[in-house]
Copies of this chain bind each other. A is one copy, B any other.
Amino acid sequence: MHEALEKYGAGAGGTRNISGHNKHAVELEATLAKLHATESALVFSSCYVANDATLATLGSKLPDCVILSDSLNHASMIQGIRHSGTKKIVFKHNDVADLEAKLASLPLHVPKIIAFESVYSMCGSIGPIEKICDLAEKYGALTFLDEVHAVGMYGPTGAGVAEHLDWEAHANGKPRGTIMDRIDIFTGTLAKAYGCVGGYIAGSAKFVDMIRSLAPGFIFTSTLPPATMAGARASIEYQMAYDGDRRLQQLHTRAVKEELNARDIPVIPNPSHIIPILVGNAALAKQASDLLLRDYRIYVQAINYPTVPVGQERLRVTPTPGHTKELREKLVTALDEIWTRLDIKRTSQWAAEGGFIGVGEEGNVQEPLWTDKLLGVEQATKEIKAAGVPENGITEALLAREAHNTNRVMDVSA
């Protein structure tokens, strides 16, 4: 990024069509197409703009089209659908039966788009991608999958949950016939896991050309800075070649969830890296967040209405590969103390009242996407035990192994 900044300057100098097109954009888009095994990709100012511009353009250009939208979809998708001016049908979050009923209610000749996400950021739930692809085929719908909270964090090359679901296949190249291959349109971000800024779509060459040619949100705006695009590409390629950061993140996630559960602090269960800690009251969630910052120097944002329903207010924690055992313990201890100080309901209290959201709901108890097998937990545990590490030290020993590998890879790539 320093080199690109020095050589190409602070900005791209124009829009993609008027003097802002450059090799960094071309290379980044080629990398993104390779990542998702699509023909083509297109970079936008942000994934907010990518979602908004793409759904608005698609929805307005497909005559009489209907967009079926998951009820927990991100604001950018909701805006895009609204801006398309076309008909929208909202289906219940991750509810394939409800989606099917709604698809079945539409005439066969009507163009349909199913818009959904892979990881839902506020609850950490995972979209039923394969089942949605089945329905899309059965009812002739296009699939639009937002992988914003998954790219760089799931799959053997970091392409997201769709790739993750066929791990073995994608670990040995990206063959046809996979779940990933059945998605028509991917969107993702260059921020979050990739650490930069910007967003993109990936799909067939014809589809990407259509959006390139028709979406005002792409046409009439300056290209991202060359250094940002060079940095994003380097970041994606690093994550394509090495999955150690993803393993570290997942091991920390497991550890935090286990430690919180052990202290009777209510974690809304999910199969992802997102740790939603239920508070259930807006004022308390805000107070807990404030106390964490003031007394413990820990920044965790409270998530209140309208982002989540009233009564489901929460703190949201996302472990990174860079966290450590010490930081985890500091967080869990702080939360435990605050739960006592503010008298926030514990898991056992919720249980006495009949449980809380996401617990015991049918079909909701999903295994983590990063299974023991993918994380190599069993094999490593055996080896670590054989080396004489006591039972309660195994998680840390596993983390230490991963961190050691990551440091070695980063030394090599630096």
Residues of A within 8 A of B (CB): 1-2, 5-6, 9-14, 17-19, 45-49, 52, 74-76, 78-79, 82-83, 189-192, 194-197, 216-217, 219-225, 227-228, 231-232, 235, 299, 301
Distance A191 CA – B224 CA, assembled complex (angstroms): 10
Residues of B within 8 A of A82 (CB): 83
**B219 engages A299 (CB within 8 Å):** no
**B220 engages A76 (CB within 8 Å):** yes
**A222 engages B11 (CB within 8 Å):** no
Whole-angstrom distance between the Cβ of A346 and the nearest chain B Cβ? 26
Give 20 CB contacts A-B under 8 Å. Answer: A1-B10, A2-B5, A5-B227, A11-B190, A11-B191, A11-B196, A45-B45, A45-B46, A45-B48, A46-B221, A49-B221, A75-B219, A76-B216, A76-B220, A79-B216, A189-B222, A197-B222, A197-B223, A197-B228, A227-B227
Among B1, B2, B79, B197, contact of A224 (Cβ-Cβ < 8 Å): B197
Residues of B within 8 A of A2 (CB): 2, 5-6
Whole-angstrom distance between the Cβ of A54 and the nearest chain B Cβ? 14
**A9 engages B48 (CB within 8 Å):** no
**B49 engages A195 (CB within 8 Å):** no
Distance A303 CA – B74 CA, assembled complex (angstroms): 37
For the A-B complex with A46-B222, A47-B221, A225-B225 known, give 16 more contacts whose Cβ atoms are closer than 8 Å: A9-B195, A10-B228, A10-B231, A11-B194, A11-B195, A14-B191, A45-B45, A46-B221, A48-B49, A49-B221, A75-B216, A78-B216, A79-B217, A83-B83, A197-B223, A197-B224
Residues of B within 8 A of A219 (CB): 75
Residues of B within 8 A of A6 (CB): 2
Whole-angstrom distance between the Cβ of A155 and the nearest chain B Cβ? 21
**B220 engages A48 (CB within 8 Å):** yes
Residues of B within 8 A of A235 (CB): 10
**B5 engages A1 (CB within 8 Å):** yes
The residue of chain B having its C-beta at the shortest distance from the C-beta of A78 within the complex is: B216
The residue of chain B having its C-beta at the shortest distance from the C-beta of A224 within the complex is: B197
Distance A255 CA – B245 CA, assembled complex (angstroms): 57
Distance A122 CA – B248 CA, assembled complex (angstroms): 52
Residues of B within 8 A of A49 (CB): 45-46, 48-49, 221
The residue of chain B having its C-beta at the shortest distance from the C-beta of A228 within the complex is: B225
Distance A12 CA – B231 CA, assembled complex (angstroms): 13
Distance A6 CA – B5 CA, assembled complex (angstroms): 12
**A10 engages B46 (CB within 8 Å):** no
The residue of chain B having its C-beta at the shortest distance from the C-beta of A194 within the complex is: B11
**B221 engages A48 (CB within 8 Å):** yes
Distance A45 CA – B224 CA, assembled complex (angstroms): 10
| Most chain B CB atoms below 10 A, which of A79, A223, A235 | A79
Among B191, B216, B221, B301, contact of A222 (Cβ-Cβ < 8 Å): B191
Residues of B within 8 A of A11 (CB): 190-191, 194-197
With A46-B45, A196-B10, A231-B10 as contacts: A301 and B19 at CB distance below 8 Å:
yes
**A196 engages B225 (CB within 8 Å):** yes
Whole-angstrom distance between the Cβ of A79 and the nearest chain B Cβ? 6
Distance A190 CA – B10 CA, assembled complex (angstroms): 10
Distance A242 CA – B150 CA, assembled complex (angstroms): 46
